[in-house]
């Protein structure tokens, strides 16, 4: 004989309340938005960390071809720039990128034509620093020794990238806080509506000796069940959206775009979102029911 699971007895027909028709779907929408906001913040943070680790403490020197200008040939100007860089304090190494490496860097924008030998390409020098560098003075020495040379300090735009990542994290936190506030407001409305609809039954339970905590547990089980089911739906929708974006991004050739894939621990963090919403719903339901019952005669 099959055993049936024992369900907690409910004395209030909360499943037929009008609030039950929208509470689960609103919870699904809130979890969907919160999960996407958190995933976006994690993707941008990973991008900023990778760029920071790979480019921090570095400089890039570009020596542009200047056909027709009264300047030394490009190779001579590159050697002059290397001499200045290697003699400058705070610089550990300076390496000229090969034509193939430059073509790979430009291929996402120029396509296969980036490897065309007839295309006038600048020479790039990858510079690694090991201490403070006077960028302004180094720029003056480079332009004097190698006309057409420009110096790109990675620290400048890495700082902008860090600021952008911080702004995205703040925006994600704002979305999560708004979702939490909306969840609290929705639960309060649904619980008060249920109490108003079932007030005669609640009063009868009081006459039969039921405590306020007993009535509160009826609402808590109902609201938490709806929140968990809605949260599961919202999380599935968010996961499907992230997977679709990841698949779509794999066909793009723009190498500067961040990777839209998440690490296992990041997926685990997203799995906590429905539970957090359900816990918030539990606390809000208990507080709302007890406060409302205290004001009832």
**For the chain, which residues make up each domain, given as ranges?**
14-53+164-295, 65-147
Separation in Å, CA 157 to CA 52, 90, 163? 10, 20, 10
The backbone torsions φ and ψ at residue 119, rounded to the nearest 5 degrees and listed phi first, read -80, 120
Give Cα 218 to chain centroid, integer Å.
Answer: 37
Q: What is the largest CA-CA distance in the chain?
A: 103
Q: Indicate left, alpha or beta for 17 from its phi (over 0: left) and psi (-120 to 50: alpha).
A: beta
Specify the residue for token string 């997926």: 267
Distance between CA atoms of 80 and 26, rounded to whole angstroms?
66
Tens place of pLDDT per residue across the chain (297 aa) = 333 434 455 666 677 677 667 888 899 999 999 999 999 888 888 877 777 665 666 788 888 887 767 778 888 888 988 898 888 888 888 888 887 777 777 666 666 655 566 667 788 888 888 878 888 888 898 888 888 888 887 777 777 778 888 888 899 889 889 988 998 998 898 888 888 887 888 878 777 877 888 888 888 888 999 999 999 999 999 999 988 888 877 765 555 556 667 888 889 999 999 999 999 999 999 999 888 888 766
Q: Quick one: tokens of 182? A: 């909306």
pLDDT of residue 40: 87
Specify the residue for token string 């995205």: 168
Asked whether the whole model's pTM tops 0.85, one would answer no
DSSP designation for 130: S
Distance between CA atoms of 236 and 203, rounded to whole angstroms?
40
Which residues face 149 on adjacent strands? 63
Element housing 272 (H / E): helix 264-295
Q: Quick one: tokens of 67? A: 């056909």
pLDDT of residue 277: 92
pLDDT of residue 139: 86
The backbone torsions φ and ψ at residue 60, rounded to the nearest 5 degrees and listed phi first, read -130, 130
| Neighbour tally for 200: CB within 10 Å | 8
Contact 67, 120 (CB under 8 A): yes
């Amino acid at each position: 004989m099959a055993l049936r699971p024992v369900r907690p007895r409910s004395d209030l027909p909360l499943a037929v309340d009008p609030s039950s028709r929208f509470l689960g779907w609103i919870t699904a929408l809130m979890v969907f938005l919160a999960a996407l906001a958190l995933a976006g913040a994690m993707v941008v943070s990973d991008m900023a960390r990778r760029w920071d680790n790979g480019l921090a403490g570095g400089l890039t020197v570009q020596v542009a071809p200047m056909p027709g200008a009264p300047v030394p040939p490009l190779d001579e100007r590159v050697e002059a720039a290397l001499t200045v860089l290697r003699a400058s304090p705070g610089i550990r190494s300076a390496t000229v990128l090969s034509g193939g490496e430059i073509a790979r860097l430009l291929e996402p924008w120029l396509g296969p034509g980036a490897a065309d030998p007839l295309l006038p390409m600048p020479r790039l020098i990858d510079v690694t620093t090991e201490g403070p560098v006077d960028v302004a003075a180094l720029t003056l020495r480079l332009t004097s020794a190698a006309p057409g040379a420009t110096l790109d300090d990675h620290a400048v735009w890495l700082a902008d990238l860090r600021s952008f990542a911080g702004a995205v994290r703040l925006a994600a936190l704002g979305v999560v806080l708004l979702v939490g506030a909306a969840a609290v407001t929705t639960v309060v409305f649904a619980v008060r509506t249920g109490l108003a609809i079932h007030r005669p039954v609640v009063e009868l339970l009081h006459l039969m000796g039921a405590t306020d905590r007993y009535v509160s547990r009826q609402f808590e089980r109902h609201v938490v069940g709806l929140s968990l089911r809605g949260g599961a739906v919202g999380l599935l929708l968010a996961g499907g959206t992230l997977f679709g974006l990841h698949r779509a991004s794999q066909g793009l050739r723009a190498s500067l775009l961040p990777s839209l894939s998440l690490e296992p621990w990041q997926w685990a963090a997203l799995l906590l979102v429905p539970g957090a919403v359900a816990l918030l719903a539990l606390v809000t339901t208990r507080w709302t029911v007890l406060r409302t019952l205290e004001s009832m005669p």
